[in-house]
Amino acid sequence: MSELLVKWEALRKQDAEIDAVFGFLKKGDEQDATYKHLEFGTAGMRGLLGPGSNRMNKYVVRRATRGFAKYLLEYGDKSRKMAVAIAYDNRHFSREFALDTARYLASFNIESYIFSSLRATPELSFSVREQHCVGGIMITASHNPREYNGYKVYDETGCQLVPDKIAKVIAYIDEIEDELTLSYQLTSEQETYVHLVDQELDQKYTDRVKAISYQKVASPGKLKVVFTPQHGTAYPLLATLLEEKGYDLYLVEEQCSPDPDFSHTESPNPEEHKAYTKAIELAKKVDADLILSTDPDADRMGVVVKHHHDYVFVTGNQGGSILQEYIYSALKEHHEMPEHPVMFNTVVTSDLGEVIARDYGVDCEKTLTGFKYIGNKIDGYDQTKSKQFVFGYEESYGYLLKPFVRDKDAFQACSILAEAAAYYQQSQKTLIDVLNDLYAKYGTYLETQVSLTLTGESGVSKIQAILNGFRANQPTKLGDIKVVASEDFLSGVHQGEERWTLDFPRENVLKYFLEDGSWVAIRPSGTEPKCKFYFCIKAESEAACTAKFNRINAEIQQRIA
Active site residues: 142
pLDDT digits (tens, 9 = 90+) for 30-58: 889 998 999 987 778 999 999 999 999 99
Specify the pLDDT at position 342: 98
Q: pLDDT digits over 418-460, tens only? A: 999 999 999 999 999 999 999 999 999 999 999 999 887 788 8
**Which of 164, 180, 205 corresponds to the end of one domain?**
205
Mean pLDDT of 362-386: 96
Which residues is 410 bridged to in the sheet?
none
Considering the domain architecture, whether residues 193 and 254 belong to the same structural domain is answered as no
- Closest Cα partner for 394 from 409, 405, 382? 409
- In contact, 53 and 34? CB cutoff 8 Å: yes
Residue 493 phi, psi dihedral angles, 5° rounding: -125, 130
Cα 49 to Cα 5, 58, 299, 339, 497, distances in angstroms: 14, 10, 22, 49, 49
Half-sphere exposure of 173 (CA within 13 A, CB side): 22
Given 442, 468, 492, the domain boundary residue is 442
Q: Over range 366-392, report the average pLDDT.
A: 96
Alpha-carbon distance of 169 to 84, in angstroms, equals: 15
Please indicate, yes or no, whether residues 429 and 505 belong to a single structural domain of this protein. no
Instruction: State residue 232's pLDDT score.
Output: 97
Instruction: Let me know whether 227 and 119 are in one domain.
Output: no
- Residue % of the chain over a pLDDT of 90: 91
Q: Is the pLDDT of residue 1 over 60?
A: no
Residues 474 and 488: their CA atoms lie apart, in Å, by: 11
- What's the pLDDT at 291? 98
Question: In this structure, are residues 434 and 318 in contact, taking their beta carbons and an 8 Å threshold?
Answer: no
pLDDT digits 0-9 by tens, 219-269: 999 999 999 999 999 999 999 999 999 999 999 999 999 999 999 999 999
Residue 433 and residue 512 in one domain: no
> Are 429 and 364 members of one domain?
yes
Least confident of 20-29, 60-69, 104-113, 227-236: 20-29
Distance of CA 100 to the CA centre of its chain: 25
Task: Give mean pLDDT, residues 297-318.
Answer: 97
Q: CA–CA separation, 405 vs 218, rounded Å? A: 29
Q: What is the pLDDT of residue 298?
A: 98
Is 216 within the bounds of a domain? no
187 and 325 in a single domain? The answer is no
Instruction: State pLDDT tens for residues 314-341.
Output: 999 999 999 999 999 999 999 999 999 9
**Boundary-marking domain end, from 401, 419, 442:** 442
8 Å CB contact between 370 and 160: yes
C-alpha to C-alpha distance for 490 and 521, rounded to whole angstroms: 13
- Please, what is the angle between helix 542-560 and helix 456-472, to 10°? 110
End-to-end CA distance of the chain: 34
322 and 248 part of one domain: yes
* C-beta atoms surrounding 157 within 10 Å: 19
Query: In this structure, what CATH number is given to the domain that contains residue 125?
Result: 3.40.120.10
State percent of the chain over pLDDT 70.
99
Beta-strand ranges (E) seen in 168-255 are: 194-197, 224-228, 248-251
Same-domain check for residues 239 and 372: yes
Residues 415 and 381 in one domain: yes
Average confidence (pLDDT) over 352-379: 97
Residue 2 has pLDDT above 70, yes or no: no
Lowest mean pLDDT among 9-18, 116-125, 214-223: 9-18
pLDDT of residue 138: 98
- Helices 431-442 and 410-425 pack at an angle, to 10 degrees, of 90
Number of domains in the chain: 3
- Pick the closest to residue 288 from 247, 320, 237 (CA basis): 247
- Please indicate, yes or no, whether the overall pTM of this predicted structure exceeds 0.75: yes
Cβ contacts of residue 287 below 8 Å, gap of 6+? 224, 306
Beta strands of 165-270 (E only): which ranges?
Answer: 194-197, 224-228, 248-251
The residue segments making up the domain with residue 267 are 221-442
- Same domain, residue pair 429 and 454: no
Instruction: Report the pLDDT value the prediction gives residue 462, as an integer from 0 to 100.
Output: 92
- Strand partners for 294: 301
Is residue 227 domain-shared with residue 360, that is, in the same domain? yes
Which DSSP letter does residue 300 get? Answer: B
pLDDT of 518 strictly over 90: yes
Average pLDDT of the chain is 95
DSSP 8-state symbol, 50: S
What's the pLDDT tens digit per position in 193-205? 999 998 889 999 9
